[in-house]
Structure 1
Amino acid sequence: MIFNVSASTLYRHGPYGHNGAMARQYDNTDVFRGASFTSATFAAAEFRDCDMRQIKIVDSVLVDVNVSGDVRNFLVNDVDVTPFVEAELNRRHPERVQLQEMRTADDYRAMWDTIERLWLETVARAERLPESARHERVDGEWSFVETLRHLLFATDAWASRTILDEPMPFHRLGLTQTGYPPADAAALGMDLDARPSYVAVMEARAGRMALVRGIVDDLTENELARMCTRAPAPGYPEEPRSVGSCLFVVMIEECEHRRYMVRDLAALEAR
């Protein structure tokens, strides 16, 4: 399907709402797959949790654009900027390099030491803010409390369920990724609409951090290579995963979400 759409044509012709403006919300759709937009205006548009592979943008104006996610082979004016971005992220967050260089059980233990230290610093920083700020979203991203809730889910899925083979380890306050079906999350006992206090989430978080600490403290080279057969959660691919690969997911979730929180805490502190 090809769409050659000008901004004026979009306004004059459908599909649009009663006020003549095009619909503002598109969820769980592939209607734009393979589409072509010419002279269309996407100013102030937001794309979240979208598959944007093989997009080509030509002769367009990109000013004040913010892109985050799994970014690879990203050409800007025929220059792949990915290596520059990765190098700068690694400079700002050296734990990313430590994470990528993990090989042995001792490496995993050292990495968890780093994660615990970094989160202690970040939590202390968050606790200098008012309680309301810890629940506040910056630019529509998860709040500090929501981020900790998501890390509950990540630990339950990749540590308790896969590594420890527990069928239903999910905490009620866990928060799944945006694209996970809410009905499936509810079936696992999670209350996505809960509005827990910071203290309640931190209590649950402490238990999950201790659980991973126990796993890495007992980790051996043989255990690192052991294959886990239970999927992290219903809907995930049913395939064998090593203990090492599952721990890697837990740790990259910890590192990347902390990076987001450092960014957002700076914005909250600036206020």
Structure 2
Amino acid sequence: MFGARFHGVDLTGADFYHVDLSGARFRNIDLSGASIVSADLLDVTVTGDLRDVVVNEVDVVPLIEAELNRRDPDRAAAHPTDADGFRAGWELLARRWEETVARARALDPTQLQESVDGEWSFIETQRHLVYASQAWVGRGILGEAAPWHPLSLPWDQAPDMPGVPRDREVQPSLEEVLAVREHTRATVSGVIERLTDEQLDVEHTAPDDGVWPYGTHTVRDCLATVLDEEYEHRRFAERDLARLETPTT
């Protein structure tokens, strides 16, 4: 089984005993409720959504959150708790994205279509953020059944959903995709500008048509998801732009 590849496999409840996973690569996996006992975790890198992660009887998530906020004092502002905080966080993210886009403009346009280490290109990142805003605000809050622009790009593992575009072959220019971004950002801004603390916990139910996001979500959760997407994908974009700016030898 050395070098085996598992894709789209459901191993829920599996039991691994005396298994060598050294050098293994895990991507887009669900380890919710997993128990790892007597493991050698040496030179291990983990990124993802961390909640209630206990290592050697210590919940490490608060420690990680504190360190991330120390490294970037603006990070806490991108995870607000009240209406004024959402307004301030949204404005902050807009300014920071302006800086990132200015950095991207300095590169050759073809580089903005390039993937770094298998991640989304800069253009694809912008397209995904269009999708995130349309999904969580257009659909999740405003109740639009199909708010999608043709350039919207769901996450890679998303199932095919009725009417939701996912064209990975099209390569719009930076200006084309930024124009779409501006339109969707204006929609989000309109919601946040009118937001009150009382509205944050109001629940909205998405149309029952098999399209994500399903079910019922609060305004708070919808907007928090959008801000988190904006913050994290900008961080990834900055990381990858640094690689693109460095000539390969």
TM-score past 0.5 threshold: yes
> What displacement does 1:119 show?
0.6
> What displacement does 1:137 show?
1.7
Structure 2 counterpart SS, 1:184: coil
- What residue number does 1:138 align with? 116
Structural mapping, 1:110-125, within 5 Å: 110-125=88-103
Deviations 1:214-238 (A, max 9, x none): 2222223444443212159835464
Distance 1:137 1:260 in 2: 12
Does 2:53 correspond to 1:86?
no
User: Which residue type is aligned with residue 225 of structure 2?
Assistant: V
User: Which residue type is aligned with residue 220 of structure 1?
Assistant: T
Distance 2:13 2:88 in 1: 44
- What residue number does 1:193 align with? 169
- Unpaired runs of 5+ residues, structure 1, are 1-9, 11-20
- Unpaired runs of 5+ residues, structure 2, are none
Deviations 1:34-66 (A, max 9, x none): 2315252542x3211101232416353622x32
Does 2:74 correspond to 1:98?
no
- Contact preservation (8 Å) 2:201, 2:220: yes
2:183 to 197, 201, 207: 207
- TM-score of the pair, normalised by structure 1: 0.79
- What residue number does 1:58 align with? 38
- What residue number does 1:29 align with? 9
User: Which residue type is aligned with residue 161 of structure 2?
Assistant: D
> What displacement does 1:245 show?
2.3
Structure 1 counterpart SS, 2:48: coil
Tell me how many residue pairs correspond in the alignment: 246
TM-align CA RMSD: 2.6
User: Which residue type is aligned with residue 266 of structure 1?
Assistant: A
Does 2:161 correspond to 1:184?
yes
Distance 2:41 2:216 in 1: 45
User: Which residue type is aligned with residue 30 of structure 1?
Assistant: D
Distance 1:109 1:232 in 2: 30
Distance 1:154 1:211 in 2: 12
Structure 1 counterpart SS, 2:161: helix
Distance 1:231 1:115 in 2: 29
> What displacement does 1:124 show?
0.9
- Contact preservation (8 Å) 1:161, 1:230: yes
> What displacement does 1:167 show?
1.1
Which of the pair has more CA radius of gyration? 1
> What displacement does 1:240 show?
2.6
